[in-house]
Amino acid sequence: MSFARQALALFSLLVATGVSASAESSLTSVGASLPARLYRNWFAQMASSGGPEVSYRSVGSASAQWALIRQTVDFAVSDAPMQPKDLAKVRRGVVQIPIAGSAIAFGYNQPGCDLKLTQQQAVQLASGRITDWKQLGCEPGSLTWVYRSDVSGITDAFTQSMQAFSSQWPLGTGASIRWSADHAIAAEGNSGVAAAIENRRGAIGYLGLSHLSGRVRAAALQNKAGEFQRPSLISAAKTLKAIELDFNLAGINPNPSVEGAYPIVTLIWVLSYRSGNGDNTPAIRAALDFMLSSQAQSQVAELGLIPLETEIVSKSRPVVERIAQ
């Protein structure tokens, strides 16, 4: 669909949801670094079509959730769902709406190496027990592990999978992990991890599929069915379909048993207040309705993210209607 047709479709959507083409609403949002390009594209389209103007700052999932708790934004974007203890801190209530999915890849820079990792090797690699490429069947050479320095939903999803892969995973789970300092370097955000791997031969780390480029390749990873799968829209979509959502629309499946599935996949959520939105209520609803629309979802794959399954969209749409003044 052309940009002009997308804009026309959005105009009709805004009118249908009660927001005029000359809407003056201005919304603020912060969120995960992984889908930043997608959200900025979406928000530019909304503004050019007479919809609400939305600013977006990439601050990471943990900081985004904290901003929502402190009530300094209209909504936030996170690649990890809010925990019950954090949901309880928001007196206005929170609705969590899945918007897209992402595969988390083992990105590496080691020319001549066609890397295939068993789940046990993945755990040993990420926990610092593999320090030379010859241990992975490649030409000998020092291996550098690259990890996220910031508090990140991607780290949380990645470590959940490591723990699901093996009971010998020693580092626990969470958005911030104390990684082994030997043969490892830290980088901020998905773009920082990608740049660190790109600039250092022998480097490998975890990052969103959408940030693979240049010399950074994705390793094939063994799934629970025993198959070696590279992260792709097809293999990640199979994992996304296997995620079961709870009543808060939160859900993970850190090691799905589905054949053909790439095992490390996370949802990306928009977090909005259930009440107390005042005059911004129609604009917030219009923005979220657009993100769930077929024209918006058709753009997701272009940026290396995973469009939502119809079943997830059907569960998400009614939640938007619960957002109140």
Q: Which domains can be identified in the chain, with CATH numbers? A: 3-101+268-320 (3.40.190.10), 103-241 (3.40.190.10)
pLDDT, residue 25, reads: 74
Backbone angles phi, psi at 106, to 5 degrees: -85, 100
Tokens of 33: 């670094």
**168 vs 35, 81, 171, 180, CA distance in Å?**
32, 26, 9, 15
State the DSSP code for 234: H
Q: What is the mean pLDDT of residues 193-197?
A: 98
**235 vs 93, 131, 169, 171, 227, CA distance in Å?**
35, 29, 24, 27, 11
Report whether pLDDT(20) > 80: no
pLDDT, residue 23, reads: 45
pTM assigned to the model: 0.88
pLDDT, residue 6, reads: 38
Report whether pLDDT(80) > 50: yes
Report whether pLDDT(164) > 90: yes
CA 97 to chain centre: 13
The DSSP code sequence of 82-138 is PPHHHHTT-TT-EEEEEEEEEEEEEEEE-TT---EE-HHHHHHHHTT---BGGGGTS
Residues β-bridged to residue 46: none
State the DSSP code for 249: S
pLDDT, residue 180, reads: 87
pLDDT, residue 50, reads: 87
d(CA 296, CA 315): 17
pLDDT, residue 1, reads: 37
Residues β-bridged to residue 256: none
pLDDT, residue 24, reads: 58
Question: Where do the H-state alpha helices sit in the chain?
Answer: 3-16, 36-48, 61-70, 84-87, 119-126, 153-165, 189-198, 233-241, 281-292, 294-297, 310-320
pLDDT, residue 274, reads: 97
State pLDDT tens for residues 221-236.
Answer: 999 999 999 999 999 9
State pLDDT tens for residues 277-318.
Answer: 999 999 999 999 999 999 999 999 998 899 999 999 999 999
